[in-house]
């Protein structure tokens, strides 16, 4: 039996300070959809990120569940 996995994606806004690496992250950067860095495809795919952008542009859409 495969373990369960959840992906929670959030739309965030920096309201103060500067994005800073920490013990949990080696780097902090933002990328446009058409210039994504190499992805860890077993964690997230370009199609999933694209779907998030589609939801952002269409806030009336219901949440996606798989």
Please count the CA atoms within 13 angstroms of the CA of 6 that sit on its side-chain side.
1
What is the predicted pLDDT for the residue at 2? 62
Residue 9: what pLDDT? 82
Q: End-to-end CA distance of the chain, in Å? A: 18
pLDDT tens readout for residues 12-50: 888 999 989 999 989 988 899 999 999 988 888 999 999
pLDDT beyond 80 at 4: no
The answer to whether the pTM exceeds 0.75 is: no
Name the nearest CA neighbour of 49 among 60, 59, 37, 61.
37
pLDDT at 1 > cutoff 70: no
Q: Please state whether 38 falls in left (phi above 0), alpha (psi between -120 and 50) or beta.
A: beta
pLDDT at position 13, please?
A: 87
């Amino acid at each position: 039996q495969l373990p369960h996995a959840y992906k929670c994606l959030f739309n965030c806004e920096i309201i103060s300070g500067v994005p800073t690496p920490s013990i949990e992250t080696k780097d902090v950067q933002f990328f446009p959809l058409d210039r994504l860095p190499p992805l860890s495809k077993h964690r997230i795919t370009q199609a999933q990120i694209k779907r998030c952008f589609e939801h952002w542009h269409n806030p009336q859409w219901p949440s996606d569940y798989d």
